[in-house]
Amino acid sequence: MPQQEKELIVQLRNKTGAGILDCKQALVESAGDLEKATQILREKGIVKMAGRLLRATQEGNIFSYIHPGSKVGVLLEVDCETDFVARTPDFQGLGKELTLQIAAMSPRWVATEEVPAEEITREKEIYRKQLAEEKKPENVIQKIIEGKINNFYGQTVLMEQKWVKDESRQIRQLVEELRSKTGENLKVRRFVRFQVGEE
């Protein structure tokens, strides 16, 4: 990604509080115009949602799931702003879907921000070694590594995973849809996945 494009994404993210991917998409749609990109995010309700993300989440539920055969189990905390939302069928349904996702897809982290920097560095080094013999230009290698890191997130980060019930949607989208519907900040706080025989 060119430095100028990175700077625009950072500026738009700081201005709106929207996610990196949303900012990148808005800049593509606006042909790099910061004001138009801001407008696009506002029209999609993402800026308003971003303000919501700063609000405290002190209610919520702990969800649990034991897979048939009792070899895999999941505990998950999802938080929201009010007890009213925590008791709604939509919130309960989201918690259930997320525990099933975690049981099936074994993510390691909730969000990309939680992935340790050393883990990303290690992955990049592995990819770079894999590409060493291909004699490609450095900028091409960088793009390939970026793609592989995104794929790594898609495998290991819950919010970036494709939903097992509909691979056209990411888990992040399910959470964002419920945020929009309830008007509240929702946060997938943490989870633990147990599997018999695993350390």
The secondary structure of 92-153 as a DSSP string is HHHHHHHHHHHHHH--SBSSGGGS-HHHHHHHHHHHHHHHGGG---HHHHHHHHHHHHHHHH
Residue 144: band (very low, low, confident or very high) from pLDDT cuts 50, 70, 90: confident
Q: Is residue 172 part of a domain?
A: yes
Q: Is residue 152 part of a domain?
A: no
Residue predicted with more confidence, 132 or 37: 37
Q: Is residue 102 part of a domain?
A: yes
Identity at 115, one-letter amino acid code: V
In terms of domains, do 66 and 39 share one? Answer: no
Rounded Cα distance between 99 and 103, Å, is 6
CATH code (residue 10): 1.10.8.10
State the pLDDT at residue 49: 52
Q: Is the pLDDT of residue 81 over 80?
A: yes
Rounded Cα distance between 100 and 97, Å, is 5
In DSSP terms, 73 is beta-bridged to: 66, 194
Among 73, 98, 108, 105, which residue's Cα sits nearest to residue 187?
Answer: 98
State the pLDDT at residue 14: 67
Q: Is residue 99 part of a domain?
A: yes
In terms of domains, do 35 and 67 share one? Answer: no
Q: Is residue 40 part of a domain?
A: yes
In terms of domains, do 105 and 186 share one? Answer: yes
Q: What is the mean pLDDT of the chain?
A: 85
Q: Is residue 91 part of a domain?
A: yes
State the pLDDT at residue 57: 62
Q: Is residue 190 part of a domain?
A: yes
Residue predicted with more confidence, 171 or 56: 171
Q: Is residue 136 part of a domain?
A: yes
Q: Is the pLDDT of residue 155 over 60?
A: yes
In terms of domains, do 71 and 134 share one? Answer: no
**Where in the sequence is the domain holding 45, given as residue range(s)?**
3-52
Rounded Cα distance between 157 and 20, Å, is 15
